[in-house]
Structure 1
Amino acid sequence: MALRSNPTLRQRRLGAELRRMREQAGLGGSQLARALGINPAHVTQMESGKTGVSVERLRTIAALCMCVNEPLIEALAEIITDRDKGGWWEEYQGRLSQDFLEVAEIESHARGLSVYTMAFIHGLLQTKAYASAIFARSYPPLPSHEVDLRTAFRLRRQHIIRSEATPLVAYVHEAALRMQFSGAAVQAEQLGTLVEASERPNVSIRVVLFDVDALPLNYENFTYVEGPIQELDTVQADSGVGNLLFDAPAHTARFRSLLAQISSAALSEEESREFIRSIKKDMESKYA
């Protein structure tokens, strides 16, 4: 079987979970390879997502690693059986960076999303004009066709929210509500869309005010992605060098604790709607 040159995010996650399973059993790669009757390099390839794993082999590995977490094994088996189902984002291979594709992939498979943003409205809730304005502010500047491509991709990601297929809890800092990327009119439209989105049955939007005591944040913007079981949750955070992904249990537990603190500090859903409407009214007065 030919090695994958560019395994998908879920393929890499499957490999990482196999490695974690082996390490928790105290087995080295060579030990597991010997028990499976394969070359040690094959274990490395499986754990990096560069070669596939059958459901039967998954269960053999789980048995050898003394893993009795059946919900985890079933969730990993589901990843394996879904491996031939491509996603719409694959159409953009070679046109956008892997970071863009991985965000769409992780969102599409999420059982639920919780996001926190300080500087801008989250991409799943952006209007076309707002998204285009953000991409147009890239430095060095992007050519117009690249801005259009990124904007179209971002809007297509929003299907999971518009279809009401995925629950979304969005914590939005007051700074993001007031930050203007292309004038008051674009911001007012964005705020109106935010209020409309908050009325969807699968969307909860809550505002964190300026006067809230400082929260212990290492990242200004992050997304907590719920998997089929908690062990397969993932956190995606923005950074100046691209996406950062966290899936180790200690990391996801830390972000769950952080979300709980943000939730306790944020306005209620109705208070948030009224606050957003008040800022929208202020924005509208600037170009009336």
Structure 2
Amino acid sequence: MAVDRTRGWWEEYRGLLPTPFLDLAELDHHSSYLREVSILFVPGLLQTEDHARAVFSSRVPLLTPQELELRVHFRMERQRLAIPYEVIIHEAALRIRVSDRATSRAQLGRLLELSDSDRITLRVIPFDLDNFSRASSTMTYACGPVPKLDTVVRDTPHGSVFIDVEAQLNAYRARFREVKELALDPKQSRDLIHGLAKEL
């Protein structure tokens, strides 16, 4: 699919994908920095194509082959984002096999590769961690040009919710700081991911 970068690449998918997909890509585009906490899934911005395909294949109702490939292609396009990205992933997300061993191994390898990027900071929350009570705190925090334009995205069973009320933003900023303090540092995180890959 040809992409016209002059009017927002996501516009090529309008009418082909649900609007929340496009809204998320547009939010990425206007953000200066992204922070994410993910508990049960490898974030879409870090997924391999096979991993993304396996995730979308589990959707209910089932997608047609065309709908499936369109979503995978869109996710890969979204990964072209070039802004700083700080992500914290729970070990659970790294261990859950959305497909087979080969897909999981490739996904962990991809995380190791991306963690070498100057713009990506990746931390892992290990299972062996005391005082962690944020198991339901998956979120994406998009930093705007100024703090008042920040937005938090929460996934719900009924779709994505966009939050931009200042009091709530302050709470999510504090939550991210707390989780970051508990997570492993980037080197320890790489070591843990490397160990998980060796187990496969």
Q: Aligned partners of 1:135 and 1:275: how far apart in 2?
A: 27
Residue number in structure 2 paired with 1:81: none
1:140 positional shift = 1.9
Mapping 1:166-177, distance limit 5 Å: 166-177=83-94
1:218 positional shift = 4.8
1:89 positional shift = 0.3
Aligned equivalent of 1:100, options 17, 21, 24 = 21
1:152 positional shift = 0.2
Which blocks of at least 5 consecutive residues in structure 1 are unaligned? 1-84, 284-288
Mapping 1:40-119, distance limit 5 Å: 86-119=7-40
Cα pair distance change 1:210/1:129, threshold 3 Å: same
Residue number in structure 1 paired with 2:41: 120
Runs of 4+ in 1 over 3 A off after TM superposition: 216-219
**Alignment-mate amino acid for residue 198 of structure 2:** K
Residue number in structure 2 paired with 1:179: 96
1:215 positional shift = 2.6
Q: Aligned partners of 1:174 and 1:89: how far apart in 2?
A: 31
**Alignment-mate amino acid for residue 243 of structure 1:** S
Residue number in structure 2 paired with 1:147: 68
Indicate the structure (1 or 2) with the bigger Cα radius of gyration. 1
1:222 positional shift = 1.2
Higher RCO, Cα 8 Å, sep 6+: 2
Quick check: which one's helix share is greater? 1
Quick one: percent identity of the two aligned structures? 37
**Alignment-mate amino acid for residue 140 of structure 1:** P
- What TM-score does the superposition give when structure 2 sets the normalisation length? 0.94
Contact 1:121-1:176 at 8 Å conserved across structures: yes
Which blocks of at least 5 consecutive residues in structure 2 are unaligned? 1-5
1:139 counterpart SS class: coil
1:170 positional shift = 0.7
Is residue 267 from structure 1 mapped to residue 184 from structure 2 by the alignment? Answer: yes
How many pairs align?
Answer: 194
Aligned equivalent of 1:215, options 130, 133, 145 = 133
Q: Aligned partners of 1:95 and 1:185: how far apart in 2?
A: 31
2:99 counterpart SS class: coil
**Alignment-mate amino acid for residue 111 of structure 1:** S
Q: Over residues 150-182 of structure 1, what are the superposed CA-to-partner deviations in whole Å (9 max), with x where a residue is unaligned? A: 00000000001xxxx300001000000000011
- What TM-score does the superposition give when structure 1 sets the normalisation length? 0.66
Contact 2:39-2:92 at 8 Å conserved across structures: yes
Q: Aligned partners of 1:159 and 1:101: how far apart in 2?
A: 15
Aligned equivalent of 1:138, options 59, 77, 82 = 59
Mapping 1:184-263, distance limit 5 Å: 184-212=101-129, 213-216=131-134, 218-219=136-137, 221-263=138-180
Q: Over residues 76-114 of structure 1, what are the superposed CA-to-partner deviations in whole Å (9 max), with x where a residue is unaligned? A: xxxxxxxxx631101111000011001100011110000
**Alignment-mate amino acid for residue 207 of structure 1:** V
